[in-house]
Amino acid sequence: MKLEGIHHVSSITGDAQANVDFYAGVLGLRMVKKTVNQDDPTVYHLFYGDDKGSPGLDLTFFEYPGASRGRAGRGMIHRIVLRVGSVQALDFWERRLGAGERTRGSILFSDPEGLGLELRVVSTSDASLTASHPEIPTEHAIQGFEEVRAYTADPDTSRNLLENALGFERAGAASWQARGEKRGGRYVFDTAPGERGVPGAGTVHHVAWASLDEEQVPWRDRVIAGGASPTPVIDRYWFKSVYFREPSGVLFEIATMGPGFAVDEDPAHLGERLVLPPKFEHLRERLEGTLTPIHAPAVAHS
């Protein structure tokens, strides 16, 4: 039993339209689901990914309109690393972003609310998960998650859970890899800054690791045996979720690969309308009246 890398990463935004403009407009990801936070249906939950909305490239955001900016600290993820295919792709992104800190193999930059991002050249046999965007040549497109980096004071406190419960393979002093049959993703610790973290806009809420559908309950049992306290299995409609904190304090989720985002929308039109899981459908009229209207970013078609 192995986890299939990173399923999704969920973060907080204070401005849904600016978030759409950046992740769909600039980074060229596809908005694959526009829905509400199932724990608080008065606010958006936006999902961006590849053309199919695959686990392995799914950045999600809870919108709290006007939320003030947070700051990553101990027990929080501070950077999401995304794969690109070549140094030429980095050259393309360096020009397109017009910002960031370039090294030969990567670009470090932030989203408009300060969320740490990195594009990194990674050679891998994992399938490339890309979204179509008229301004972004396919060979330069973002290809999937590579890793998330979190702050801790002591990576060893997490080691037992990561290795013995979750089956992560150690890849360095403070670095692990979750690799299944199809995909892999990394979890890396950096030394926490002195300042306390503050949750808020531009901070990561949790990372989800991908499980085969039938293995989620056994994973939950292993998490309990490893000393953590998972939630029951929660049906998120497009996947099922179990949440727990790993010892450093970072919120982990184990999410099933299926059934996926096409279960209730035509795959050709993912993310175009507000989609509500059946249990929230009765709230549609009220929600459509209160949620901030958002529109797809304007794209200069060549």
Stretch that binds Zn ion, among 2-10, 28-36, 134-142, 287-295 (CB under 5 A): 2-10
Q: Which residue, 10 or 256, is less far from Zn ion as judged by CB?
A: 10
Residue 120 C-beta: closest distance to Zn ion, Å: 23
Kindly state the smallest distance separating residue 168's Cβ from Zn ion, in Å: 18
Question: How many residues interact with Zn ion (rule CB under 5 A)?
Answer: 3
**162's tokens:** 């990561």
* Least distance in angstroms from the C-beta of 104 to Zn ion: 33
Q: Does 208 participate in binding Zn ion (rule CB under 5 A)?
A: yes
Residue 217-256 contact track with Zn ion, rule CB under 5 A, x = bound: ------------------------------------x---
Q: Which is nearer to Zn ion, 51 or 253 (CB)?
A: 253
Instruction: Rank residues 113 and 253 by Cβ distance to Zn ion and give the closer one.
Output: 253
Cβ 25 to Zn ion, closest distance in Å? 23
Among 10, 13, 216, 256, which residue sits at the site for Zn ion (rule: CB under 5 A)?
10
Residues that bind Zn ion (CB under 5 A): 10, 208, 253
